[in-house]
Amino acid sequence: MSSEATPITPTAFKAALTTLSLPSLHLKVLELRNSIAHLDYSNEQLHPFAHPASPDQQQPDPDCAEAIAENNVVIERMQERIRLVREEVESRGFSWREFQSKVELEALDKQEPGVTINGETNGERHSAWTDGTFQTGRIVSGEVVMDSVAGQTQQHQGGSIGDEELRRRMEERLRDMGMGQDDEEGGMHL
């Protein structure tokens, strides 16, 4: 298949990167890693057919072996593109660390013990991650959904009542304060 389509050259790819924003570069790296993961999975599935474990099982399938070889060429091309994105990110003065995959970060931590990764130093989480100083979340269908913090209950997060419940509670407080009885205009004076 790769003989039918001409991939973009590294030079053209590098030139195209200069017009992309930093978040777009981040997405491009994620897209490339996702493609590599799919090709690796495909190779794992094809391997038993291309290289049977025992000679009595079946003959090696040359098409599967060729597909694995083609996938490996594409994987190398994608890894080169990730290297080009890294060069672009670093040439802009940004750190590559936030672009690294979890596997890369874990390997780096083994090489450099004591390095802080996602709020953890030597396997211990900094208190800022649990006391509410830092909060993480994601956008789901246009709505911000905050991630829960271990050991923190919903009652401490606030914002857990709806508009109607808030209105009901405010009216109840105003009645308890005696407002509304003496006020002829039915409003609240500040």
Q: What is the DSSP letter of 90?
A: H
- Does the pLDDT value for residue 77 go beyond 70? yes
Is 55 part of a structural domain of the chain?
yes
Mean pLDDT of the 126-141 span: 69
Give the pLDDT of residue 79. Answer: 95
Question: Could you give phi then psi for residue 134, rounded to 5 degrees?
Answer: -110, 135
Closest CA to 72 of 44, 104, 48: 44
**Bridge partners of residue 125, in order along the sequence:** 120
Is 144 part of a structural domain of the chain?
no
CA–CA gap between residue 174 and residue 170 (Å, rounded): 6
Mean pLDDT of the 5-21 span: 92
Domain limits for position 43 = 10-101
**Structural domain tally of the chain?**
1
* More confident call, 117 vs 111: 111
CA–CA gap between residue 144 and residue 137 (Å, rounded): 7
The runs of H, that is alpha helices, within the chain are: 10-17, 22-50, 62-91, 102-111, 163-176
Is 118 part of a structural domain of the chain?
no
Question: Could you give phi then psi for residue 23, rounded to 5 degrees?
Answer: -60, -35
Is 189 part of a structural domain of the chain?
no
- Does the pLDDT value for residue 98 go beyond 60? yes
Is 50 part of a structural domain of the chain?
yes
Is 124 part of a structural domain of the chain?
no
Q: Report residue 22 as tokens.
A: 């930093």
